[in-house]
């Protein structure tokens, strides 16, 4: 068992894979800089980016461990390109929410390497991302941002979009969770469309 694990680790860390993980992480970091709001779902200070696409591609191509490494590289490169404005709280949340998508997707695809397995993995990952994102926002992000913007104002911004929002938990499940469901669906759709072409290059 130890020999098998060592062999897998050696394969993951060969020069080609290390370069690929670095490249995909760097692409993800650049994509993090381009975000757009979904004002019909969540307040405009929630920006959607597509940085998980190269991470998910790398996860399917090289496995969930590689995906987690790419996620970490993405954040490190992003910090070089654009220093933190949240005391690393935002970056921490981004890693957790990103891994909530790519790890379940990667594990399921690893067990069933078919298009159906990939789709099931992305659906499960998207749901996990929405749930983890909601909880993290409730217990970490919103309390942190309330130091800069009154929590009441944040909730009012949510209520302006959805009148049913009246508390932190209604905010995260009626605004943040749908926001991340849309993000996960968009990332999954684009990954599905481009993965086959890119995987040929990766495995070529």
**Quick one: average pLDDT of 177-189?**
97
**Structural tokens at position 25:** 């992480």
Q: What pTM value is reported for the model?
A: 0.89
Query: 196 is written with which tokens?
Result: 């086959």
Q: What is the pLDDT of residues 43-80, one digit of tens each?
A: 988 999 999 999 999 999 999 999 999 999 999 999 99
By CB neighbour count within 10 A (0-12 exposed, 13-18 middle, 19+ buried), where does 80 fall? exposed
- Percent of the chain clearing pLDDT 70 (strictly above): 93
What domains sit in the chain, N to C, each tagged with a CATH number?
A: 2-203 (1.10.1760.20)
The per-residue pLDDT for range 127-153, each reduced to its tens digit, is 999 999 999 999 999 999 888 889 999
């Amino acid at each position: 068992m130890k020999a098998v694990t060592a062999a897998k680790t050696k394969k993951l860390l060969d020069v080609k894979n290390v370069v690929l993980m670095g490249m995909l992480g760097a692409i993800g970091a650049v994509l993090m800089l381009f975000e757009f709001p979904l004002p019909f779902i969540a307040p405009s200070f929630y920006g959607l980016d597509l940085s998980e696409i190269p991470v998910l591609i790398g996860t399917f191509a090289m496995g969930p461990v590689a995906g987690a490494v790419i996620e970490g590289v993405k954040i490190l490169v992003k910090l070089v390109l654009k220093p933190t404005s949240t005391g690393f709280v935002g970056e921490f949340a981004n890693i957790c929410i990103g891994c909530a998508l790519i790890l379940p997707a990667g594990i399921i695809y690893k067990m069933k390497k078919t298009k159906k397995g990939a789709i099931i993995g992305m659906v499960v990952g998207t749901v996990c991302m929405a749930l983890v994102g909601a909880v993290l926002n409730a217990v970490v992000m919103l309390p942190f941002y309330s130091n800069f913007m009154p929590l009441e104002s944040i909730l009012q911004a949510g209520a302006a979009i959805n009148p049913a929002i009246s508390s932190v938990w209604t905010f995260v499940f009626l605004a943040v969770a749908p926001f991340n469901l849309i993000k996960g669906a968009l990332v999954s759709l684009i990954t599905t469309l481009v993965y086959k072409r890119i995987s040929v290059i990766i495995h070529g």
